[in-house]
Structure 1
Amino acid sequence: MSRRPIAQQPRAHVPQRPLWLCRRCAQPWPCGEARLALLHEYADDPARLRIYLTSCMHDALADLLKLNPETAPTAETTFTRFLAWTAPRAARDAADPAVRSEPSPARLAALSSLRLWRARRRSI
């Protein structure tokens, strides 16, 4: 198996400090690819992932405030960027107003039909 020379190897999606942009795709880090890689790397210990990203968030806030205090992101947007996506799905769904909204009429009709079908099946 031949190896690529180092100059030709694709770069990982890692942060470029102090801008906190992805070195590979120039998106705000953690970009989508970095998130997938981090989820894979920390699959066995999601708490460690959140601890790692909390320290990155802290460093990013400090770096971005030093660069330009007037345009630095708020703590809320930085939290969303670094940590909100790591929450368990149930917690994210509970916080999302679109998920908490009332079910659609079609969904209610389907649930009603299912309940009727189950009731009839039990009575047989």
Structure 2
Amino acid sequence: MDISSVSTSSLPHTGSSDGTKIAREERVGKTRPDQVSVSQNQQAVRRETRESMQQRRVEQAERLNETREMQREQLEKLVERLDEFMSSFNKGLAFRLDEDTGRSIITVYE
């Protein structure tokens, strides 16, 4: 029997019996279909997490701005009331908020 006449291309390819082809494919980075779906699911979960975190940041920033605005309004009312109260005593004190800096200004008159 002549062994050289048998072509390897005519034989069905099933991989080697010791599994070297399968191991080589896994080393090269080929992923199995079930690995791809897990990876896609993880990416989707990460994307949803990022989106929800971004939404929470936006909501927190809005709440912070609302709180600051309320505090500013309360401070303006307080300064106005202090100025009215002190003027009733005819003392040399005046209270106001500086528009540019937002600082409280107390003026003492002689």
Please tell me the TM-score bracket, short chain as reference. under 0.3
**Please, what TM-score do these two structures have when normalized by structure 2?**
0.25
